[in-house]
Chains A and B, each alone.
Chain A
């Protein structure tokens, strides 16, 4: 109760006194900013510069500026790759939302003890390098893999099923790898919901379903959105998933960049694709951040109640 009253007081007079003394904290943050500039902004700027350099083959390039690298992307081959990647990212994000939202919400309604257990179970896979996990999946799913062996033994199938190296496997791989982010972000926003709001809606005449759609769902939209961002952005770039599970048959932007840098030896072109990828994802990101921000503003009210 005390917390609500304090929040209310701050809200009442509309000012936030004694909160402006931030300068000592800024000083303490300088090393962090330096690291950020060095490791985040630096490489980004370098990549942008590189994307305008001229390729001289075999990984070499000269600083003669050109837009050739960007012009080349108009080629349908690359355009199709881009569209395919976006499509796959959309699909996997959709699947991740459909599975992750109910799961995360369900977790938030568990008892304290079970919440802890479930969070642990969701997080454990992060302890293992994702490459290793994907190779693990191959062991499970390949023609002579564990799953086929089991199905054959049980006489459920007569011939091994080809699980691997197609579009759905790549999709499933994306969903598998990125689902925890969605679960956790939906969980954390659902967890914060003040349950008296739901009781109030029931008291005022809402059925359980009506209470869910009018109260719980709107208040978890920010969590859903951050989950969407956390799944969409990586699924545009996770080249090794399509590489490992798609067996190079599904070429995504991520693999395209990697391919150009290694086998193709064309660093400026790889940089240009990377820049475009960054722009596309940033635009999508900002768009969803906008919507999420609108929702987030209302969510602040949650703390006041």
Chain B
């Protein structure tokens, strides 16, 4: 309870009558790496700006270390942001950029120089003190922005898609580095991304946002393996959503009708006639096994790197995607196939 460093409760925000955040609740634990994951436009940046104080909520509370900070200006909040565009000051060199927050705090000049050098070492930019900002590469700018946000030792660091503008290789490298820094400093990170892989790689917990609310907030593996909603399941790991109807219930298990066939699903408390949604990861779709019984047609076959991706269309016109690593298949477009899954690989979602 008391290790919550930041609590957003019932936060609403709308722009020009369009509501962007709808009764958002969020608790952030001290020292954790929390990722806000969600599609473009779902309100991630807005949430971050409200935490930073750059925007104010229409209603609801922002409580930082037990104090309501809603009426505090951004400069009065012990929270720093790394902007996606870096927002480095073009008229200052690297050293001046990083020293900026310290100068505002009237830290003596010698100490500023010392702390700037310290942090430059930390982000592996030693000796870059007098480089001019426009001449830095994307990755270097990123590090400077990070150093500038870290140097004044804020309680929480907010990062808005900080790696969005970097190429894949650099992004991987910076992911590892960010994680290293976060652990080293024991600092609370709130990190925005719409890259599920990035989120899964780095986070202690992931909050999946959809349309102005947080649909699920859990540890990365829980989000991946036990999604609670079909949105979470399809956004994180691109799961297939299987929609079935409970035909009958016997001994804590339901007979679920799907595509002219039935399968058993064990869970107490299900009722006949109920519509159920299940998440089935693409890598868990089994093709043409002896006990496969769902009919489908291959409509697309493609290679994604080392991965073979097959799109099926079921009898009831639903698309099912199957992926396999390193396995070639004689299947081609138009082939009829049977598919199935293992019982333990199917997850009930959108269900209280």
A210 at the B interface (CB under 8 A): yes
> Complex: how many Å from CA A301 to CA B89?
8
Q: Are B152 and A305 in contact (CB under 8 A)?
A: no
Q: Are B90 and A299 in contact (CB under 8 A)?
A: yes
B251 at the A interface (CB under 8 A): no
Q: Are B104 and A204 in contact (CB under 8 A)?
A: yes
A4 at the B interface (CB under 8 A): yes
Q: Are A199 and B165 in contact (CB under 8 A)?
A: no
A199 and B86 contact, Cβ closer than 8 Å, known pairs A298-B132, A304-B134: no
B87 interface neighbour in A199, A218, A299, Cβ under 8 Å:
A199
Instruction: List A contacts of B81 (CB < 8 A).
Output: 200, 203
A1 interface neighbour in B52, B137, B165, Cβ under 8 Å:
B165
Closest Cβ neighbor of B149 among chain A residues: A204
A219 interface neighbour in B80, B90, B104, Cβ under 8 Å:
B90
Instruction: List B contacts of A205 (CB < 8 A).
Output: 75, 101, 104-105, 152
A196 at the B interface (CB under 8 A): yes
Interface string of B320-339 (1 = CB under 8 A from A): 00000000000000000000
The tally of residues in B whose CB lies under 8 Å from a CB in A reads 35
Q: Are B152 and A204 in contact (CB under 8 A)?
A: yes
Instruction: List B contacts of A60 (CB < 8 A).
Output: none
Nearest-CB distance from A196 to chain B (Å)?
5
Nearest-CB distance from A9 to chain B (Å)?
8
Q: Are A202 and B54 in contact (CB under 8 A)?
A: yes
A8 at the B interface (CB under 8 A): yes
Q: Are A196 and B104 in contact (CB under 8 A)?
A: no
Please report which residues of chain A, range 191-212, place their CB below 8 angstroms from some CB of chain B when the two chains form the complex: 194, 196-197, 199-207, 210
Instruction: List A contacts of B135 (CB < 8 A).
Output: 11
Interface string of B167-180 (1 = CB under 8 A from A): 00000000000000
Please report which residues of chain A, range 1-30, place their CB below 8 angstroms from some CB of chain B when the two chains form the complex: 1, 4-5, 8, 11-12
Q: Are A194 and B85 in contact (CB under 8 A)?
A: yes
> Complex: how many Å from CA A302 to CA B54?
21
Q: Are B87 and A194 in contact (CB under 8 A)?
A: yes
Q: Are B165 and A301 in contact (CB under 8 A)?
A: no
> Complex: how many Å from CA A1 to CA B81?
18
A299 interface neighbour in B53, B91, B136, Cβ under 8 Å:
B91
A199 interface neighbour in B54, B90, B100, B138, Cβ under 8 Å:
B54
> Complex: how many Å from CA A302 to CA B73?
25
Instruction: List B contacts of A305 (CB < 8 A).
Output: 85-88, 90
> Complex: how many Å from CA A4 to CA B84?
11
How many A-B pairs fall under 8 Å by CB? 95
Q: Are B91 and A301 in contact (CB under 8 A)?
A: yes
> Complex: how many Å from CA A71 to CA B100?
55
A200 interface neighbour in B73, B79, B87, Cβ under 8 Å:
B87
Interface string of A217-245 (1 = CB under 8 A from B): 01100000000000000000000000000
Q: Are A304 and B165 in contact (CB under 8 A)?
A: no
Instruction: List B contacts of A289 (CB < 8 A).
Output: none
B13 at the A interface (CB under 8 A): no
Instruction: List A contacts of B141 (CB < 8 A).
Output: 8
Closest Cβ neighbor of B134 among chain A residues: A301
Instruction: List B contacts of A218 (CB < 8 A).
Output: 91
Q: Are B90 and A300 in contact (CB under 8 A)?
A: yes
Instruction: List A contacts of B84 (CB < 8 A).
Output: 1
> Complex: how many Å from CA A45 to CA B75?
59
A258 at the B interface (CB under 8 A): no
B83 at the A interface (CB under 8 A): yes
Closest Cβ neighbor of A219 among chain B residues: B91
Q: Are B54 and A301 in contact (CB under 8 A)?
A: no
Q: Are B87 and A196 in contact (CB under 8 A)?
A: yes
A196 interface neighbour in B80, B83, B138, Cβ under 8 Å:
B83
Q: Are A295 and B91 in contact (CB under 8 A)?
A: yes
Interface string of B122-151 (1 = CB under 8 A from A): 000000000011111110010000001100
Instruction: List B contacts of A304 (CB < 8 A).
Output: 90, 133-134
A215 at the B interface (CB under 8 A): yes
B237 at the A interface (CB under 8 A): no
Q: Are B100 and A214 in contact (CB under 8 A)?
A: yes
A203 interface neighbour in B75, B134, B164, Cβ under 8 Å:
B75
Q: Are A5 and B134 in contact (CB under 8 A)?
A: no
Instruction: List B contacts of A196 (CB < 8 A).
Output: 83, 85, 87
Nearest-CB distance from A289 to chain B (Å)?
18
Q: Are B134 and A300 in contact (CB under 8 A)?
A: yes
Instruction: List B contacts of A206 (CB < 8 A).
Output: 75, 104
Q: Are A302 and B104 in contact (CB under 8 A)?
A: no
Q: Are A204 and B137 in contact (CB under 8 A)?
A: no
B60 at the A interface (CB under 8 A): no
B74 at the A interface (CB under 8 A): yes
Nearest-CB distance from B232 to chain A (Å)?
26
- What are 5 A-B pairs with beta-carbon distances under 8 A? A8-B165, A197-B89, A203-B54, A204-B149, A304-B134
Going nearest first, the 9 A-B pairs with the smallest beta carbon separation are: A301-B90, A301-B134, A200-B87, A298-B91, A204-B101, A205-B104, A202-B74, A196-B87, A12-B137
